[in-house]
Chains A and B, each alone.
Chain A
Amino acid sequence: MVEVTLIEASRRAALQEMRRDERVWVLGEDVARGGLWGQYKDFLAEFGEQRVVSTPISESTIMGAGLGSALVGQRPIIEMRIFDFVMCAMDELVNQIAKIRYMFGGQAKPAVVVRMPHGMWRNSAAQHSQMLEAWFAHLPGVVVVTPATPADTAGLLVQAIRSDDPVLFFDPKDLFWVNGEISEPIEPIPFGVARKVAEGDAATVVTWSAAVPVATKGAELLATHGIKVDLFDLRTIWPWDEGAVIASVKKTGRLLVVHEAVEVAGFGAEIVARVVDQIGPANLKAAKRLAAPRIPVPFAPPLEAQVRLSPEKIVNAVKALIGA
């Protein structure tokens, strides 16, 4: 085990896989100089300019060229710089990558990983702070990975690079400098298995990505008031660990889904609907979502705080849920 930052954990995962499999290559803006956050630091020297390719600012072609290389047998890591720029490559992602295996009857193997540093991040305003992961959970043909810790980022990135499915990897950029332990070598973590962060029977709290440490803090505060909750970090929202969540709600009878993204039509709605469908409304005493208002993310710190989750908001939401 070694203690590293989350971004370093991701660097070591990609490094391990590029050493293991020479078909793996990385393309995106500024990746040859190490990437925007050092997630590819020293890669150029080790792997050369054919496998570590700094590209023009041409998101459509970064995405589409990654796919094209996969169609001849390479395994690209497509770096989108930050999540918000994926919108410049939506045809290549939605119409091509997500569809090509299906509409060609299984002939194509779009084994791509699309890395998208994601979420709210230090007063970066509306075009550098978005959380739209629910869009992609809605899109058949892709896996949606939303880790929150160094260990999970490393293990899930290894799994993503080895996967034959297209994997959309939402790097949690607000957590890049958080420390944590990772194993060496890094073992893959299967998709669709939640991590249980806390144990309790007052309510079930489900979350992912940058909301995880906030919810963890909230659960700790609740515990000091004698309220213990089951807290799950889903880690991947498609597939998501329906079994673990449903088993927990059967025990607690109460569900709170916490996410950074806008509440309206967010993935929390899917989880609540699915739980109601599976256990029946009679077995559910209460279900709530705690998420962002339907506004773009503003710049000024006090305005941004309107969007941001806090441990206190989670404490209040759980208390309201259980009528405490």
Chain B
Amino acid sequence: MSDPGDNLRRLTDLYRTMARIRAFEETALAAHKAGEIPGPLHVSIGQEAVAAGICLNLRRDDRLTSNHRGHGHAIAKGADPKRMMLELYGREGGYCRGKGGSMHIADFSVGMLGANGVVAGGIPIAVGAAQGLKMQGSDAIVTCMFGDGAVNRGPFLEGLNWAVLFKLPVLFVCEDNGVAAFTRAASVTAGPGVTDRAKALGVAAITIDGNSAMAVDDAASTAAAAVRRGEGPRLLHVRTYRITGHTSTDAAAWRPQEEVEEARSRDPIARLGAVLAERGVAPSELGKMIEDAHAEMAEARKGASAAAWPEPGVAFEDVQDTGAVAWSKSH
């Protein structure tokens, strides 16, 4: 198998995806600070290589479940940032018609089965989706993204056990930024950690550098292929760093500045940019990709801020077919 790192076009795609994720979240953060986006906003700045590197190895009909920090996963899986931004603004035309917001972006048309506001909530759903696909004789696989905090919840144990028992096509990805909300994950996680837990249940698992898009791509390529061949679940433990706080209103002043600076020196976008430059991509081309990404997201912001709110009646739709509409009409 050829090293995907040799493929310049592949690396350029990775770079562009990361640039778009970063631009989307920086734009959303600015809009949130300006009071244009309501509610909590969890961004993943610094973690872009994980989303980009994993999803580059997925087909459109592969499914993905995500967590509360899922903008990057959605963009990398193929969701439209314009519709995502509309949803963040709570406007008509957003993916969830203004009923989900940042934490519930879903685009079933590209296999993105939704972000989840409950830590580990996507794990049982992912194994069930995989079981359904297997029943249908499909060779599509399911990727399950969760954070280091999720490995201390029961569904992690249940879901891995289940995926092994039924030999399901699930690629588990533990996106480890070291912090569960505001608490250092290491301070609340017993034992040697996620890969050992996975191995104890019979899931092949490795730890990789999540700030190297090439490393993530490489590992995901191998793991996704094994899962697709029907060899059962795999787990990737991907170490990365969350540059920003838990939510947009958390300045993360509780972290030592040196730690953040050190992490910035490992910024996944700059790192891949250096590799691309070394291989002969002109700095102006890299700059253009970043500029284009910002222009795209600025356009999305402009569109979202000018878009109409959903009609009030939308609040009563999509509840259930039986027994919802009748009630709202009788009151």
Contact = CB atoms under 8 A, between A and B. Distances in A.
| Contact-size category for B | 35 or more
Contact of B321 (A51, A60, A165): A165
A56 B118 CA distance: 23
Contacts of B95: 104-105, 107
Interface of B: 63, 65, 94-100, 104, 106-108, 113-114, 116-118, 121, 123-136, 142, 154-155, 158-159, 161-162, 165-166, 317-324, 326-327
Contact of B322 (A55, A58, A143): A143
A56 B162 contact: yes
Given A61-B124, A95-B118, A102-B318, A72 B133 contact: yes
A64 B323 contact: no
Contact of B114 (A25, A70, A100): A100
A56 B121 contact: no
A63 B108 contact: no
Interface of A: 25, 50-51, 53, 55-56, 58, 60-61, 63-74, 76, 91-92, 95-96, 100-108, 140-143, 163-166, 191-192, 238-239
Contact of B162 (A58, A71, A73, A74): A58
B131 A108 contact: no
B11 to A, nearest CB: 32
Contacts of B320: 101, 140-143, 165-166
A68 B129 CA distance: 4
Contact of A66 (B104, B113, B128, B133): B128
Given A61-B127, A91-B121, A239-B326, A106 B158 contact: no
A68 B126 contact: yes
Contacts of A65: 124-125, 127-128, 131, 162
Contacts of B107: 107
Contacts of A95: 117-118, 121
A63 B99 CA distance: 24
Contacts of A58: 158, 161-162
**A63, A68, A142 — which one has the most chain B CB atoms within 10 A of its CB?**
A68
Given A61-B158, A104-B96, A68 B124 contact: yes
13 contacts: A65-B125, A68-B132, A69-B132, A70-B132, A74-B136, A101-B318, A101-B319, A104-B108, A141-B320, A163-B322, A164-B321, A191-B322, A239-B327
A11 to B, nearest CB: 22
A191 B323 CA distance: 9
B324 A55 contact: no
B233 to A, nearest CB: 13
Contacts of A101: 318-320
Contact of A67 (B124, B165, B327): B124
B125 A67 contact: yes
A263 to B, nearest CB: 24
Nearest to A60: B155
Contact of B106 (A61, A108, A140): A108
A64 B118 contact: no
The 10 closest A-B pairs by CB, nearest first: A64-B124, A68-B128, A65-B128, A239-B323, A69-B132, A105-B96, A105-B97, A68-B129, A58-B158, A68-B125
